[in-house]
Amino acid sequence: MNSKNTVVFDGQPLTIEAICQIANQQAQAKLGRQPKFIERINKGARFIDTLLKEEGFVYGVTTGYGESCTVSIPLNLVEQLPRQLYTFHGCGLGDHFDARQTRAILAARLTSLARGYSGVRYKLLQQLTELLKQDILPMIPQEGSVGASGDLTPLSYVAAVLAGERDVLYQGQRQPTQTVFAGLNIEALTLKPKEGLAIMNGTAAMTGIACLAYQRAEYLSRLSSRITSLASVALKGNAYHFDEKLFSVKPHPGQNRVAERIRADLQLRRSAPRHDTRLQDRYSLRCAPHIIGVLEDSLPWLRQFIETELNSANDNPIIDAEGEHVLHGGHFYGGHIAFAMDSLKTAVANLADLMDRQMAQLMDPKFNNGLPANLSGAVGEQALLSHGFKALQIAVSAWTAEALKLTMPASVFSRSTECHNQDKVSMGTIAARDCIRILELTEQVAVAVLLAVVQGVELRGNVDSLSPALQNTVRQLREHSPFLSADRALEQELRLCLELSRKQYWELYDSSFPDTTPRSHAPRGNAVQGALRPED
Ligand SMILES: N[C@@H](Cc1ccc(O)cc1)C(=O)O
């Protein structure tokens, strides 16, 4: 871990990258210590105390929750409410979020609470920061949120852990929170009346996951551009399909960026001939920028949706300590994240489909312009036995089908729940989880097709004449997966390459590559950059 990087939670907007850095343990979480920030946070908590004293009634503080808000709780029982809330929501099931996802969820909740509109004490933010600093991770089951009373059930596990209850993952082991807190001298928090609701009534589970999904998708977009370039070489494709003039007349900026990347990879420096008599390539080569471009052009608005949600007070009620108001609304509704994740699912699964089609062309002597069947590298008698990448193609087809199947939007499955109080919900957490699964499957497809295109390029025998960028990808892959000259079981090297892909190991169009910054007609909205600051 680079201990120099710190992400400061002080109410200032944070980026997707900041959340991912924390999730990947590339940066430390730090809570703002400026007196002004501390006072701003504590003022909200004090305002609730004052209201309670003066009026004796605040929703979620002296009432039941949701549909039960008409039930008034006598002041002598009010202190018990937050514990009651996280306790009855302790009904999550399914697999647990993994360590990286859990860190992202904690960081997303902290970002929102640090805005200062949720009426929690600074002390609570400190406890949340402590979990991140010491990597004490609540065991959060993934299933049981409709994503529109916030992620109540998943976040109940965060609330309970702050209060010293339930289980955490600490130093690789599931342990009772109480044991870990005792060992580290951390005092369990007794949550104040509004604090249970403030932690749970928000979109942090889906938003944390969305940050991770965004970063993976952004890398996959670049990886599939590089794979397309290699596929074009292996299939003896027509590089003029990526001509600059051609793309200038259909100016989607992301699509143009993809064409520009492929053009550079293919060293296309001349303009197209006056009259190209070559046959046109199949769509999975010729239209690759149009397919990858949909994802690339979606990135700015996806970032805007995700970062706006991340940096919002997505709680209810909202506490405006400055103006002295308790504002009742529905900011726990995760509609933007639901739509972002449902859309990202479709865009990413289309990359799987694109690469699956490229693989299909490469494998089949009817379409591959003279390459051996199944890209077998065997010679002599062995060639008769060899099946090359045949099974890998079948696997790619299976992974692609599974990814495509999961693109069914989650948000349209809204259903009325909780005695019709929550009669329209976002299903954003389901969308985000589906998106992660589609990313996993598409990464598998990408790694498999990368093996195939590199084999195809080598079978052509012209690696030395390729652009430095393409040669570099061939070299990087070959360090981990040799040329397939005889059939072998590929599982282990596929797993290794997958791991490398997830670590963004392949060098792809780094930031010095021209035109990777969004253009003026692809506005960043209120997305915020540069929240990652060196240790002060
Ligand atoms: N999200 C609801 C509150 C709620 C909390 C817990 C529940 O079980 C149900 C509803 C609101 O703010 O209106």
| Per-position DSSP letters for 326-337, written without gaps between them | EE---TT--HHH
283 catalytic residue (yes or no): no
Q: How far is the CA of 153 from the centre of ligand 1 (A)?
A: 11
Q: Which atom of ligand 1 is least distant from the CA of 197? A: 5
374 within 8 A of 388, measured Cβ to Cβ: yes
| CA 164–ligand 1 middle distance (angstroms) | 23
- List the one residue out of 224, 221, 220, 210 whose CA is nearest residue 304: 210
Ligand 1 center–CA 201 separation, angstroms: 7
Closest CA to 331 of 501, 184, 150, 193: 150
For ligand 1, atom 2, the nearest C-alpha belongs to 66
**Tokens found for residue 2:** 């680079």
**pLDDT confidence bin for 532, thresholds 50/70/90:** very low
pLDDT band for position 274 (cuts 50, 70, 90): confident
296 CA distance to ligand 1 centroid (A)?
37
pTM exceeds 0.90, yes or no: yes
Q: Is the CB of 97 under 6 A from ligand 1?
A: no
- Which residue CA neighbors atom 6 of ligand 1 most closely? 65
**375-406, pLDDT tens digit by residue?**
999 999 999 999 999 999 999 999 999 999 99
The answer to whether 418 and 425 are in contact (CB under 8 A) is: no
Map out the domains of the chain with their CATH numbers.
5-202 (1.10.275.10), 211-518 (1.20.200.10)
Q: Is residue 162 very low, low, confident or very high in pLDDT (cuts 50, 70, 90)? A: very high
Q: Would you say the CB of residue 316 lies under 6 angstroms from ligand 1?
A: yes
Question: What pLDDT, on a 0 to 100 scale, did the predictor assign at position 269?
Answer: 81
- Residue 300, both tokens: 């700015």
- Bridge partners of residue 141, in order along the sequence: 96
Atom 13 of ligand 1: nearest residue by CA position: 66
**CA pair distance 322, 331, nearest whole angstrom:** 19
Question: Is 152 a pocket residue for ligand 1 (Cβ < 6 Å)?
Answer: yes
Q: How far is Cα 226 from Cα 499, in angstroms, rounded to an integer?
A: 18
Per-residue CA distances from 71 to 44, 201, 210, 318, 391 (Å): 24, 19, 36, 20, 62
Closest listed residue to residue 290, CA positions, set 240, 239, 255, 246: 255
ipTM above 0.85, yes or no: yes
Distances from the Cα of 207 to the Cα of 14, 324, 341, 516, 533, angstroms: 13, 29, 10, 25, 22
Ligand 1: does its nearest atom lie under 6 Å from the Cβ of 418? yes
